Amino acid sequence: MIDVKNLSKSFGDHLVLDGINQHISPGEKVVIIGPSGSGKSTFLRCLNLLETPTGGTITFQGQEITGAKVEIDKVRQQMGMVFQHFNLFPNMTIRRNITLAPVRTGLMKQAEADEAAIALLKRVGLEEKADAYPNQLSGGQKQRVAIVRALAMKPKVMLFDEPTSALDPEMVGEVLDVMKELAREGMTMVVVTHEMGFAREVGSRVLFMDGGGVVEENTPDELFNHPRSERLQSFLAKVL
Amino acid sequence: MALINWLGDLAPRLHRAFIEGDRWKLYLQGLGTTLEMTVIALILGVILGLVVAVVRTAHDQQRLGHRNPLLSFFNALCNLYTTVIRGTPMMVQLLIWSFVIFKTSRNKVLVGIIGLGINSGAYVAEIIRGGLMSVDAGQSEAGRSLGLNYFDTMRFIVIPQAFKNILPSLGNEFITLFKDTSLVQAIGAAELTYYAFTIGGRTFDYMPPLIGIALMYLAVVIVFTWLQGKLERRLRESDRR
């Protein structure tokens, strides 16, 4: 589904990603862990070109999206993204936050999008918030809405950039529950997170990144129980 | 004693400056023209400013290696415009519009509006650009990640949020522009200062008309500032919600 070849990214002289090769298959739940500054968020943001790679290629469903003539908006319509700081649009109601993109991109008519929005909100238990504004919601509620907003575009893959890092501890669970349900339904997911429990439970494959590269990758069971590299061992010793 | 004489004199002077020959109508007419010029010039300035601000912001936000040459050209044009306008005196610009570019035009009010509007556009562009930049980058990232194009993202997400931050500065620009219309007197457009000057010349007494219009300008600015404060308070209330 997503094929990454020799991906590199530098900001000025600073090399953030150094020749990453990865293949993400449909239905896979790839969890990326690693210390801050390891390049994991940059890697994720390269996948939908929020960051422009400085080298290498990314192919999404057979189309090379790093090429020159790509309609990037069309590509992004098929990749949902959830941000650490939610990034809901504060000038719109929750309903409009969810329906804006499907309607403007021609995916749905307004009435259809409204219906879809309510159905999605019901799934995350927030249907009564449809006419509220984002700043009336708690952090956990905001992030659940942000997930719903991305899902409204019916994406083929969902990218999560530290979705629970900005939340109060008691709200982490409600967001992870939504993500787990999504995983059970078979959504292809790439998740950057510090939630090791989530990585263990949901991940089909876990990548450990450090210094701009993937140092180790494995099934969660192997990676957490039998870390091979010294860097992963010391990282796990600190976070577990 | 001198003060009493001066005060005794004041009544006929005021009468001459404002009442005689229904001169107060001229002031009102002048004030009308002044306000009209301000509003039209501000609209012109906001349109120009919005275009310049969007071009410059779009140019600065381009992805590396995907620079659009057309956009670079327009960006250079916008830079030239703001540099020239902000780097030369308003008065000199008005004189050039009137005596060089539109030297055959007799509609000096229109020439004044063009001069003021184009001047204001350069300042409004910076105001709007600042407003656009004040919106968190995550907002446009979220819009673009949903597959919205650049202009939809600006139109529905960034510009509405920037508007609230822009409003106070835009109000100040209105006030500046309103006062600057008095410069247009120099190219012979019949606005408030022009009438006061003419009446002063005809009655050989400049004090009453000039003090009079100063008070008029002041009154309009005070009323406008009050309205602006009210509007801002209301916008802030919707923030608290």
Q: Which residue has the tokens 């600006």?
A: B154
Cα angle at B79 between B74 and B84, to 5 degrees? 130
Q: Give the strand pairing for A205-210 and A213-218.
A: antiparallel
Provide the edge-to-edge strand list for the sheet that holds A157-161. A79-82, A157-161, A188-192, A29-33, A205-210, A213-218
Q: What is the least distance, in Å, from the CA of A42 to any CA of chain B?
A: 14
Q: What is the mean pLDDT of chain B?
A: 90
User: Does residue A216 sit in helix, strand or coil?
Assistant: strand
Cα angle at A209 between A206 and A215, to 5 degrees? 90
Domain boundaries in chain B? 36-240
Asked if A122 is an interface residue toward chain B (Cβ–Cβ < 8 A), one would say no
ipTM here: 0.92
Residue A132 exposure: Cα atoms within 13 Å on the Cβ side: 15
pLDDT value of position B7: 85
Beta bridge partners of A58: A4
CB-closest option in B63, B65, B145 to A48: B145
Q: DSSP string spanning A57-116?
A: EEEETTEETTSTT--HHHHHTTEEEE-TT----TTS-HHHHHHHHHHHTTSS-HHHHHHH
Chain centre distance of CA B175: 7
Cα distance between the two ends of chain B: 63
Quick count: other Cβ atoms within 10 Å of Cβ A186? 10
pLDDT value of position B62: 73
pLDDT band at B66 (very low <50, low <70, confident <90, very high): low
Q: What is the least distance, in Å, from the CA of A49 to any CA of chain B?
A: 9
Chain A contact set for B143 (CB, 8 A) = 89, 101
What residues contact residue B102 under an 8 Å CB cut-off, 6+ apart? B111, B114
Asked if A191 is an interface residue toward chain B (Cβ–Cβ < 8 A), one would say no
Q: Give the residue on A whose Cα is nearest the Cα of B146.
A: A77
pLDDT value of position A190: 96
What residues contact residue A100 under an 8 Å CB cut-off, 6+ apart? A89, A92, B146, B148, B156
The tokens describing B103, both together, are 């030297």
Cα angle at B135 between B133 and B139, to 5 degrees? 120
Is B146–A90 a contact, with Cβ atoms under 8 angstroms apart?
no
- At B113-161, the pLDDT tens digits run 999 999 999 999 999 999 999 999 999 999 999 999 998 999 999 999 9
Contact B232, B167 (CB under 8 A): yes
pLDDT values of chain A reduced to their tens digit, one per residue, 240 residues: 899 999 999 988 899 999 999 999 999 999 999 998 899 999 999 999 999 999 999 999 999 999 878 899 999 999 999 999 999 999 999 999 999 999 999 999 999 999 999 999 999 999 999 999 999 999 999 999 999 999 999 999 999 999 999 999 999 999 999 999 999 999 999 999 999 999 999 999 999 999 999 999 999 999 999 999 999 999 999 987
pLDDT band at B238 (very low <50, low <70, confident <90, very high): low
Residue A190: closest CA among A156, A216, A215, A223: A156
CATH number of B36-240: 1.10.3720.10
Is B63–A52 a contact, with Cβ atoms under 8 angstroms apart?
yes
pLDDT value of position B239: 61
pLDDT value of position B39: 95
pLDDT band at B165 (very low <50, low <70, confident <90, very high): confident
Residue A127: closest CA among A143, A139, A115: A115
- Hey, CA dihedral for A86, A91, A97, A101, is it positive or negative? negative
